[in-house]
Structure 1
Amino acid sequence: MKPELDLTHAHWQSGSRGKGDVQIAFVEGFIAMRNGRHPEVPALVFTPSEWRAFVLGARQGEFDLT
């Protein structure tokens, strides 16, 4: 079960290219992800194992649309 995290003071990080569309923050042992262009929209929260699976899937092209 994931807790309701207070993301008010989270340190949001953008991708390596700094475009700011997707931002992540590490908070209380969880990983939060939000749309940097619309930070008022609720963030997605992942456990470390969920985040690992997401990152590995992205690296392997699991989410490629082409």
Structure 2
Amino acid sequence: MNELSARDWRKSSYSSEGNACLYISALDSATIRLRESDEPDTILTTNPTALNALIRSAKAGQLDHLGTA
């Protein structure tokens, strides 16, 4: 995988100035990369269709049970 520079990443507008910021990179239309500010070397790779499905599920509350102990 090509090394990504700081300019290739965009911080989520929902992230504050503290920790736990989400960054996204889409260098092409087929691959989306995600990372979290506390673990910048850990990069999740997905595609637009799968990410869209995840976001729709989260917004619909279908993943709420994952946060409960």
TM-score (norm 1): 0.69
Cross-structure match for 2:12: 14
Task: Write the distance in 1 (CA, Å) between the matches of 2:3 and 2:27.
Answer: 8
Task: Write the distance in 1 (CA, Å) between the matches of 2:41 and 2:24.
Answer: 14
Identity of aligned residues (%): 20
Larger radius of gyration: 2
Larger relative CO (CA 8 A, sep 6+): 1 or 2?
1
Higher helix share goes to which structure? 2
Task: Write the distance in 2 (CA, Å) between the matches of 1:7 and 1:20.
Answer: 23
Task: Write the distance in 2 (CA, Å) between the matches of 1:54 and 1:7.
Answer: 26
Could you list the structure 1 runs, at least 4 aligned residues long, displaced by more than 6 angstroms after superposition: none
Aligned residues: 61
The alignment's C-alpha RMSD in Å is: 2.0
Assess, with a 3 A threshold, how the Cα gap between structure 1 residues 54 and 8 changes in structure 2: closer, same or farther. same
* Structure 1 contact 15–23 (Cα < 8 Å) conserved: no
Tell which deviates more after alignment, 14-23 or 30-39.
14-23
Partner amino acid, structure 2, of 1:51? L
User: Shift of residue 14 of structure 1?
Assistant: 2.6
Following superposition of structure 1 onto structure 2, how do residues 1-66 of structure 1 map, counting pairs within 5 Å?
4=1, 6-9=2-5, 10-18=8-16, 19=18, 21=20, 22-29=22-29, 30-41=31-42, 43-64=43-64, 65-66=67-68
